[in-house]
Chains A and B, each alone.
With several copies, the nearest count.
Chain A
Amino acid sequence: MKLVTAVVKPFKLDDVKAALEAFGVHGMTVSEVQGYGRQKGHTEVYRGAEYQVAFNPKVRIEVVVDDADAEDAVAAVSKAAQTGSIGDGKVWVVPVETLVRVRTGERGSDAL
Chain B
Amino acid sequence: MSHWLSLLPLDDTIPDPIKTAISSASAEGDTAWVLTSAALVLLMTVALAFFYGGMVRAKNVLGMLMQNFYCIAAVSVLWVLFGFSIAFGGSNSVWGGLHFALLHHMDEIIPGGTYTTPTLAFFAFQVTFAIITPALITGSTADRWRFGAFAIFVALWSTLVYDPIAHWVFAPTGWLFKRGAEDFAGGTVVHANAGAAGLAMCLVLGKRIGWPKQAMKPHNVPYVMLGAGLLWFGWFGFNSGSAIAANNLASYAWVNTNTATAAALLGWIIVERIRDGHATTLGAASGAVAGLVAITPAAGFVTPYGSIALGAIAGAVCCLCTVIKTKIGFDDSLDVVAVHLVGGILGALLIGFFGDKATGIGIDGIFKGGGGHLLKLQAEDVGATVGYSFVATLIIGYAMNLVFKHRMPEDQEIAGMDISLHGESAYDMGAGTSGTLVGAHSVSTPAPAPAPAPATSAYSTASPPSAPSITMPSPLTPPATPSEA
Contacts and interface: CB of A to CB of B under 8 A. Distances in A.
Contact of A44 (B217, B451, B452, B477): B217
Contact of B275 (A42, A46, A48, A54): A48
B424 A46 contact: yes
Interface residues of B, number: 54
Nearest to B457: A50
Interface stretch (A14-22, A63-71, A91-99, A104-112): A14-22
A34 B423 contact: no
Nearest to B339: A47
A9 B58 CA distance: 16
Interface stretch (B29-37, B86-94, B278-286, B363-371): B278-286
B437 A51 contact: yes
A72 to B, nearest CB: 12
A49 B431 CA distance: 20
16 contacts: A11-B476, A13-B433, A15-B472, A22-B469, A34-B433, A42-B415, A42-B450, A46-B282, A47-B335, A48-B275, A48-B442, A49-B437, A50-B439, A51-B217, A51-B438, A52-B454
Contacts of A55: 433
Interface string A3-46: 00000001111110011001000000010101000001111111
Top 5 closest A-B pairs, CB basis?
Answer: A19-B470, A51-B435, A10-B432, A53-B435, A13-B432
Interface of A: 10-15, 18-19, 22, 30, 32, 34, 40-55, 57, 59, 76, 79-80, 83
B322 interface: yes
Given A40-B452, A42-B450, A45-B276, 20 more contacts: A10-B431, A11-B474, A11-B476, A13-B432, A14-B432, A14-B468, A42-B415, A43-B450, A45-B277, A47-B283, A47-B286, A49-B441, A50-B438, A50-B439, A51-B217, A51-B438, A57-B430, A59-B431, A76-B470, A79-B470
A12 B437 CA distance: 15
B436 A45 contact: no
A15 B423 contact: no
A82 B464 CA distance: 23
Nearest to B419: A42
Contacts of A48: 272, 275-276, 319, 322-323, 326, 440-442
B155 interface: no
A51 B218 CA distance: 12
A45 B415 CA distance: 16
Contacts of B451: 43
A34 B431 CA distance: 10
Contact of B441 (A30, A41, A50, A53): A50
Interface in B457-485: 468-470, 472, 474-477
A73 B472 CA distance: 18
Interface in B288-343: 319, 322-323, 326, 335
A32 B447 CA distance: 31
Query: In the complex, which of the residues A12, A41, A45 has the most CB atoms of chain B within 10 Å of its own CB atom?
Result: A45
Given A18-B472, A43-B451, A44-B423, A50 B431 contact: no
A43 B435 CA distance: 9
A42 B418 CA distance: 11
Contacts of A19: 469-470
Given A52-B435, A52-B454, A44 B425 contact: yes
A55 B215 CA distance: 14
B1 interface: no
Contacts of B109: none
B264 interface: no
A61 to B, nearest CB: 10
